[in-house]
Amino acid sequence: MADAPILTNPLKEMMKAGKVALGMNVRLARSGDIARIAKSCGHDFIFIDGQHAIFTRETIAHIAHTALGCGITPIARVRSVDDQDVQVLLDNGVMGIVYPDVNTAAEARRAVARAKFPRWASAPPRAATRCSTTARCPCQPDGAGAERRHAGGVHDRDAGRREQRRRDRQGGRRGRDPHRRQRSPDRDGQARVSSAIRKAPRRSIASSP
């Protein structure tokens, strides 16, 4: 089986090389033929205006697929930084997103996040749990780094155990699991009293006449 061809972004390659790219604005044409026309006229990309034109997602995808087949880059302008169609367009042929009316750094960060797959809790490890506190987590031993905010709200439950075992090995004693429930002094005392009662000799008590 032959290797599948690698899909490249001609516009991005030209920008990396410091070259000037020529593009065509698409607002009226609703057929993929506009991509072929742009390619025949020497354009390097097409700019599909989804903000001011009444395009459906299917129309944009059809034009984008034709552009990819012609070897030019399809980019699309969406309605805002909160446009819900961004990921759908990127999944269906569009190779670049243009956001309008970005006025603040917060809007720019939101626009970038909209174009990426959401992080699923920073890919937590197998034994991870969510920790929302900024104080020292009970899973962490005392010492340096105990007071910290866990990155992304994800905390590794095994980190404290590994650190405790490491410290125990350095101290020359057997490591103890900090998560293991220790028997309280009260319970120890009750156990000793019960054992003494069981071992004490029983005396017969005669009833009074």
C-alpha Rg value of the chain to the nearest Å? 34
The residue annotated as part of the active site, out of 43, 52, 62, 155, is 52
Q: Are strands 154-156 and 128-130 parallel, antiparallel or unpaired?
A: antiparallel
Active site residue 52: yes
What are the catalytic residues? 52
